[in-house]
Structure 1
Amino acid sequence: MTIDLILVGCGNMGHAMLAGWITAGRIPAARVVVVEPNESLRLRAAALGLSAHATAQEIAPDCQPRVVIFAVKPQVMRQVVPDYSRFKAGGAAFVSIAAGTPVGTFEELLGADAPIIRCMPNTPAAIGKGMMVLFANNNISPEQDEFVRDLLSANGAIASIDDEDLMDAVTAVSGSGPAYVFHFIECLTEAARTAGLPDDVAKLLAMQTVYGAGALAAESDEEPGKLRQNVTSPNGTTAAGLAVLMGGDRLKQLLAETVEAAKQRGIELRD
Structure 2
Amino acid sequence: MQPNDLERIAQQIRRRDLQAVFEAGAGHIGGEMSAIDILTALYFRVLRLWPDQPKNPDRDRFVLSKGHTACALYVTLAKRGFLPEDEIATFLKPHSRLNGHPNCNKVPGVETNTGPLGHGLPVAVGMAKAAKLQGASWRTYVMTGDGEMQEGSNWEAIMAAAQFGLGNLTLIVDHNRFQQGAALSDTNDLAPIRPKLEAFGWDVSEINGNAMSEVVPALERRGARPHCIVAHTNKGHGISFMQDRVDWHHKVPNAEQYKIAMAELAEDLR
- Superposed pair shares fold, TM > 0.5: no
Taking structure 1 as the reference length, the TM-score comes to 0.39
Bigger relative CO (Cα 8 Å, ≥ 6 apart): 2
For normalisation by structure 2, the TM-score amounts to 0.39
